[in-house]
Structure 1
Amino acid sequence: MYPSKQEPTYGAPPAANAYYGAPPPSTGLPVTVPPGGFQLQAHLPTIGPWSTGLCDCGDDTRNCCITCLCPCITFGQVAEIIDKGSTSCGASGALYVLILCVTGCSCLYSCFYRTKLRAQYGLREEPCNDCLVHCCCEYCSLCQMYRELTRRGFNMDIGWHANMERQGHMATMPPPPQSMSR
């Protein structure tokens, strides 16, 4: 009933085929799983391109100007949407400024949000590593993240909760406190 096991020799790694037999041949046809058995399937996200390039600021000059003058505003708006409302725009922007003042390098914080955005929407890591993009072209990267979320239907000026209400979803908010009554 079970494939015969061969005892591994000590000091050498066991071969998978020695324990479980040879894997079935790959035919390209669907495989039926016997009752009581299971089949593991890897779910890999679809990797696609960004909707705009890193330096495509021509269609959104308003955001590019805001980002050049005060990048903490753009970062706060982007972070609130990526975090799905768990952090506010103001708190994220303030933390961005604090990290900039203490380290002089806010890209250490903002590059993680580029990675989170790519993971949420299955975007390619282009033109190079996320941290390198933020260290070399932080303002362009913030603008690209802003444009990506805008093209995916978010109104960046109203925040996460208002976007969810606008889309017909109930934003997850705690129930209002109730007073005790007799």
Structure 2
Amino acid sequence: MNILRKVVTPKWNTELCGGHGCTCLITCCLPCITFGQIAEMLDEGQPSCVTHALIYGLLYLVQCHCLLSCSYREKLRAKYGLPAEPCNDFCVHWCCGPCALCQEHAELQSRGLDPSKGWTAHRRAAPIPLSMFR
């Protein structure tokens, strides 16, 4: 018996140039904040959002920030099996950095993480496994 299997390719839940509300405004004015929030979530709180934001800000001064931010886009894609769309991670951040950061922030939110609340808030909200009570 032949069973046809449909291959499901994971997709981004948000568009690259979609409206992302307040995050878009913050990102256009201070992209280091949005980057710091994203990086903190992907690195599970170590180092902090502030540390990530400072590093990004310093790299922004010498126009090398996209080297760092594209590596976190790659990390996000690897974590959720997302395709490199519309092009590779470096090109997305080089050509449309603020849009890429907004999309990544929104993607984390759509997957149940809120980068604006930080990693510790996420950890506190995580359910306690029942096995701990046995």
Task: Give the Cα–Cα distance (whole angstroms) in 2 for the partners of residues 99 and 105 of structure 1.
Answer: 5
The ranges of structure 1 where at least 4 consecutive aligned residues each deviate by more than 3 angstroms after the TM superposition are: none
In structure 1, C-alpha distance between the alignment counterparts of 2:91 and 2:79, rounded to whole Å:
20
- Normalization by structure 2: what TM-score? 0.86
How far apart in 1 are the matches of 2:109 and 2:43? 15
Tell me the TM-score normalized by structure 1: 0.64
Q: 1:92 aligns with which of 52, 72, 79?
A: 52
1:26-47 per-residue CA deviation (whole Å, 9 max, x = no partner) reads xx9xxxxxxxxxxxxxxxxx74
How far 1:157 sits from its partner (Å)?
Answer: 2.1
Shift in Å at residue 120 of structure 1? 0.5
Higher relative contact order (CA 8 A, sep 6+): 2
The one-letter amino acid paired with 2:64 is: C
Q: Which residue among 65, 81, 96 is the counterpart of 1:122? A: 81
Residue 67 of structure 1: CA displacement? 0.2
**Which residue does the alignment assign to 1:75?**
35
Q: Which has the larger radius of gyration?
A: 1
| Corresponding residue number in structure 1 for 2:70 | 111
Q: Which residue of 2 aligns with 1:148?
A: 107
SS at match of 2:47: coil
Change (3 A) 1:165 1:117: same
SS of 1:157's equivalent in the other structure is helix
1:53 aligns with 2:15: yes
Segment drifting more, 151-160 vs 131-140: 151-160
State the distance in 2 between where 1:66 and 1:169 align: 34
The alignment of Structure 1 onto Structure 2 pairs a total of residues equal to: 123
Give unpaired runs (5+ residues) of structure 2. 3-7, 130-134
Task: Pick the structure with more helix per residue.
Answer: 2
Task: Tell me the amino acid that sits aligned with residue 40 of structure 2.
Answer: E
Consecutive unaligned residues of structure 1, counting only runs of 5 or more, are 1-27, 29-45, 171-182
Could you say what secondary structure the match of 1:127 adopts? coil
